[in-house]
Structure 1
Amino acid sequence: MDARGFWKLVDHAVRSAPDLEQRREWLTGRLALLPAGEIADFAVRLDEQRERVDTWAHWQAATLICSGLCGMDSFFYFQAWLVGQGSQVFSSVAASPDALAAVPSIRRLASLGSVDGWADEDWPDWEPLYRVPDAAFEAVQAGDLDSFLRSRGQARAFDVSPGGEDVEMEDPADIARRVPHLWALFEKAVE
């Protein structure tokens, strides 16, 4: 499975299922219909796509949205959430973290005010996406996916390793300069 096949599955899940839990179920079921090698390819493509938004600038944007509550694990799950928004949203945000300001669910979060008022399902994270290929793999083959990947000379990343230009994570001037549209939505939360 190449990147195009990966996004075809994710985009179909986005169109077919209104919430992340239904998307997870759909993706798991669909992947379980594929050979073990293609399931492993999905896991590798997931890492490749996630790495496109594994930058300091994206982490800064996620930290702004989440009012500073975005540590390493939270950012990892935020990256999965971005994948779960589909290829069009993901590509625009990968190109510019400020594109998050146009994402309807992010605009909704800004309208909710303080994170204290957010429900669990409001948070922009999707940790269960990383378990999708494992569950599908277990349905079609004995053994575990990570061992299978190692046998192919591959491995998954289970943490963040941001690259790109350094940012001042909580400096209002730096944030406003880098993500002006997002800053306009969330600056009150920072004050």
Structure 2
Amino acid sequence: MAMDKNEFWQIIDSTREAALGDQERHQQALISRLESYSPEQIVEFECLLRQYVLEADTFLIMAAQKIIDGYVSEDPYLYFRCWLVGQGETVFTEALRNPDSLAPLLHDPYQEFEALLYVAGLAYARRTGKQEEDDTFPRAVALTRGLDYADSVTTGEDWTENQLPKMLPRLWKKFGAL
């Protein structure tokens, strides 16, 4: 049985809640949970994760990260989008619609969840017993499906820095002066 979007989000949400805000615990909970799925389902989790991270590659999300962190560069922007997925479906969906909705959720100026990029591969290795990555691993399969972060094209309307205070006023008020 394949993994669908509802199941993907249920896994993200339930493991995030169980981790009580601890990212390392969230990562470990995800790996443990995914280990119970078939290798094919773990691959589908990876593909869905990549689809959502790519979907979040918008100029509005980039503007939010610029305000929050004070800069935008390739890796931190990718890890910020992973953090956004790791917050669960409700937060993710609302942030894509209105990134200013993140303001009340953020306390620190840097948000990232790089470790999310590795959970499917680690779970797959444990589940299959394979020590070396090959073309059956989640990352390799996702790349053959064209789900590559390096090929991502940012969507939406580009912005200039002087537009940021009016674009995302709540985030600007909280982080723009940092």
TM-score when scaled to structure 1?
0.81
Segments of structure 1 that go 5 or more residues without pairing to the other structure are 111-122
Q: CA deviation at 1:51?
A: 2.0
Structure 2: how far apart are the matches of 1:24 and 1:41? 17
Which residue does 1:7 correspond to in 2? Answer: 9
Segments of structure 2 that go 5 or more residues without pairing to the other structure are none
Structure 2: how far apart are the matches of 1:101 and 1:48? 24
Which residue does 1:39 correspond to in 2? Answer: 42
- 1:154 aligned partner, one-letter code: R
Matched, 1:79 2:81: yes
Which residue does 2:59 correspond to in 1? Answer: 56
CA RMSD in angstroms, aligned pairs only: 2.0
- Spell out the pairing of 1:27-176 with structure 2 (5 A cutoff): 27-68=30-71, 70-103=72-105, 106=106, 108-109=107-108, 123-141=110-128, 142=130, 144=133, 146-148=135-137, 153-159=144-150, 160-168=152-160, 171-172=161-162, 174-176=163-165
Matched, 1:24 2:27: yes
Say which SS state the counterpart of residue 158 (structure 2) adopts: coil
Say which SS state the counterpart of residue 176 (structure 2) adopts: helix
Q: State, as a whole percentage, how many aligned pairs show the same letter.
A: 27
Structure 2: how far apart are the matches of 1:84 and 1:28? 13
Q: CA deviation at 1:187?
A: 2.6
Structure 2: how far apart are the matches of 1:180 and 1:52? 23
Whether the 8 Å contact between 1:146 and 1:155 is mirrored in structure 2 is: no
Number of equivalent positions: 170
Which residue does 1:185 correspond to in 2? Answer: 174
Seen in structure 2, the aligned counterparts of structure 1 residues 74 and 146 have a Cα distance that, compared at 3 Å, is farther
TM-score when scaled to structure 2?
0.87
